[in-house]
Amino acid sequence: MSGIGGFVSVVIPLTSSEVDVRGLIEGYSEPLRSGGYEYELIFVLDGVRGGITNDLEAAAGDHPIKIVRLQGEGLGEAIALSAGVARARGKLIVNAPQYLQSDPADLLKVVQAMETGADFVATWRHPRVDPWLNRLQSRIFNWMLRVIMGIRFHDLNSSLRGMRRQVLEEVNVYGEMYRFLPVLAQRQGFRVVEVKVRHREEKGRRGFYGVGVYVRRVLDILAITFLTRFTQRPLRFFGMLGFLTMTVGVAFAGPPLYWKLIGEDGLSNHPIFVLGMILVAFGFQLIGFGLVGEIIIFTQSSSFRDYKIDEILEGGSEIDLVPQPGALPTQAADGSENGSDLPITVRELVPGEDARWDAFVTAHRDGTFFHLTGWRRVVEETFGHESHYLVAEQGRKWVGVLPMFWFKSPFVGNQLISVPYGVYGGVLAADQAAQDELLSSADRLGRQLGAEYVELRHLGERPGEREKNVLYLTFFRDLPQTVDEVMPSIKKRARAEVRKARDRHGLRFEESTDIGGFFELFARDKKRLGSPTLPYRWFRNLTEEFGRQVVIHRVVDQEERTVVAVMSFCYKDRVYAYYSGADERSRGTGANDFVYCKIMEWAVKQGYRVFDFGRSRRDSGAAKFKKNMGFEPSTLDYEYLLLADDAKMPSFNPSNPRLTKPRQLWAKLPLFMANSLGGKLSRYLP
């Protein structure tokens, strides 16, 4: 991200196709350009039909635009904004309306306010030039807010807003809450400022807002007050309310009861006694609700780690805490200073060190997506395998890590795998000493657990000799600099397929968030190949854990049916096209070549440098396909520490001839059966 001017992502939700897109693009680009900013315009299509994509692309010219199409329609601004921000590159986000209601030049004001330190910039259209009824409604609405909730904003309906990305990461917006973003942001402790913008007659928009709009908003205000104040400690709210209700109840019911007891008067002459008792009982119920709330909060509290860290300062900055790998062996020059003469010790990762682990993996040359602690959480959550994440320390400096899972299965036996379900894994160490220390710890741990061997899914050479399995090849290559160079970089035959898919079959490529749709194709594909599928849960957990690092792309045909879907992981400078599924209808349409070509183009556009096509067995059809796409195979020799005396190299893989029959059988199972069985089986298949 460049320093001067900065990078601004403008997110524009579109709900109507009758929008002057050229005017929008020009209007929003102009001030940013003149202000010297780098920027992108992200159009989020919320239920817009028709050729608006083409219009946008035609109007874009050399303006950098992205188009995000939401599935379903009328999802609302909150979802549109989140979806747009998910694709945004900048830290400064401007949310702009689809009608130019304010002077576009005011966009600059908003951006500048953020640059001077505001986390959120609300705008105030002043003076207004709306129809009088809108103005009146808006004024009443804002006045109510001020009086009821003490909100000091003048114009919550103005949809031109600026915010830092972190605001949206922390403030949960949904539904109409979107309006109150500035309020929510302020409640959470962000710096919110308001700037005046000039109001323009809205082009393309006529008429009045209905009164119902405001009724809904008032309800939203109530919901917000409630949620922001009382969700953390429900009993404080419900308890108070319940206590008050009971007090009132006792006040109503007490005197008649007293009269009855002393024989003064029958209760039937005082029906208020019933009301009193209802209130008392209701008070109990309210307290009960509060307690249920507390239990929910208590049991779920681990999921709101409600703080975000800017930075961790490790003491004594002269000590290099995340060593730069590659310098083999130890840097002896400054050895005394960073404690290289100390012994290396190995221990397990303790809770709270996940961030440090991930930082180590990210800094290490060989660190892959599968080394991250997120992978651990997803595997544990989905399959419940026991994990052993080892850290090698020299003094307090980390010199190596080794993630492992203890995998016991009737198919592959008892083993430690680094890491299952991932194609890469293994040791990440600063030098050979650390690596050896980690491997001997793994060896000891493995024996302790009664494992037959330790499988290290190493990508790239590690020093030392170990048993190898030469089953797999892996495919990755550097991406070209520009999008236009992607096509020429693949082989001629594949290129023809891509063209066929695009021109003859009219296939369209897009990003998607539809895990279900992806899973359907993936599972059916797997079954056809005779392998058990991974459970749906796995993919959902992946997307939940990694967020924007997991992307789904899909290709739809002219009837809007998804024919190919690919789930990719993005980490460091690399895009891993990892899971895919194709519809049988896509056969012969070139959809497969098309989707990968497009993902490569997407990756280039997003600034990634390496495209990782993943592993394939030697001489398999997939390997051939990848070669056709212009990839050269690299060997991917999984390495093994054999632990048991009679341990043999594992031979359980789909090319094993013993498995041919079961695979054919599997392919014949009904899909629902294969899916549910496969999801359970996959626990035992690393």
CA distance 449 to 417: 13
Q: Which is nearer to other proteins, 355 or 496 (CB)?
A: 355
- Output the smallest distance, CB 537 to other proteins, in A: 14
Q: Please state the separation of Cα 649 from the chain's center in Å.
A: 38
- Output the smallest distance, CB 223 to other proteins, in A: 20
**Is the preceding omega at residue 419 within 30 degrees of 0, hence cis?**
yes
- Output the smallest distance, CB 78 to other proteins, in A: 22
Task: Give the single-character DSSP code of 455.
Answer: E
CA distance 48 to 64: 21
- Output the smallest distance, CB 354 to other proteins, in A: 9
Q: Which is nearer to other proteins, 243 or 652 (CB)?
A: 243
Q: Which is nearer to other proteins, 263 or 670 (CB)?
A: 263
Q: Which is nearer to other proteins, 136 or 319 (CB)?
A: 319
b vs e for 542-552, b when ≥16 Cβ sit within 10 Å of the residue's Cβ?
bbebbeebbbb
- Output the smallest distance, CB 272 to other proteins, in A: 9
| Secondary structure E strands in 419-517 | 428-429, 453-456, 467-478, 508-512
Nearest to 220 by CA among 181, 254, 249, 251: 181
Name the residue type at position 306: D
Q: Give the other-Cβ count within 10 Å of 459's Cβ.
A: 21
CA distance 602 to 563: 19
Q: Which is nearer to other proteins, 438 or 629 (CB)?
A: 438
Residues 412 and 686: beta-carbon distance below 8 Å: yes
Q: Which is nearer to other proteins, 211 or 350 (CB)?
A: 350
- Output the smallest distance, CB 356 to other proteins, in A: 8
- Output the smallest distance, CB 626 to other proteins, in A: 39
- Output the smallest distance, CB 680 to other proteins, in A: 19
In this structure, the dihedral spanned by the alpha carbons of residues 179, 180, 186 and 188, taken in order and rounded to 10 degrees, is -110
- Output the smallest distance, CB 50 to other proteins, in A: 42
Q: Which is nearer to other proteins, 554 or 683 (CB)?
A: 683
- Output the smallest distance, CB 197 to other proteins, in A: 26
- Output the smallest distance, CB 42 to other proteins, in A: 24
How far apart are the two ends of the chain, measured CA to CA in Å?
A: 39
Residues 28 and 41: beta-carbon distance below 8 Å: yes
- Measured on CA atoms in the order 118, 571, 57, 511, is the torsion positive or negative? negative
Q: Which is nearer to other proteins, 366 or 437 (CB)?
A: 437
> Tokens in use for 650?
């594992």
Q: Which is nearer to other proteins, 211 or 332 (CB)?
A: 332
- Output the smallest distance, CB 54 to other proteins, in A: 41
CA distance 27 to 160: 13
* Pairing outcome for strands 38-45 and 65-69: parallel
**Is the preceding omega at residue 127 within 30 degrees of 0, hence cis?**
yes
Q: Is 355 exposed, middle or buried (0-12, 13-18, 19+ CB in 10 A)?
A: exposed
CA distance 494 to 480: 17
Residues 131 and 138: beta-carbon distance below 8 Å: no
Q: Which is nearer to other proteins, 213 or 355 (CB)?
A: 355
- Output the smallest distance, CB 352 to other proteins, in A: 4
> Tokens in use for 189?
């402790």
Q: Which is nearer to other proteins, 49 or 308 (CB)?
A: 308
Q: Which is nearer to other proteins, 400 or 517 (CB)?
A: 400
CA distance 11 to 556: 25
Q: Which is nearer to other proteins, 151 or 287 (CB)?
A: 287
- The DSSP-derived string for 91-144 is SEEEE--SS--B-TTHHHHHHHHHHTT-SEEEEEE-S--S-HHHHHHHHHHHHH
| CA angle (63, 203, 26) in 5-degree steps | 15
- Output the smallest distance, CB 358 to other proteins, in A: 13
Residue with tokens 């990755």: 476
Q: Which is nearer to other proteins, 285 or 481 (CB)?
A: 285
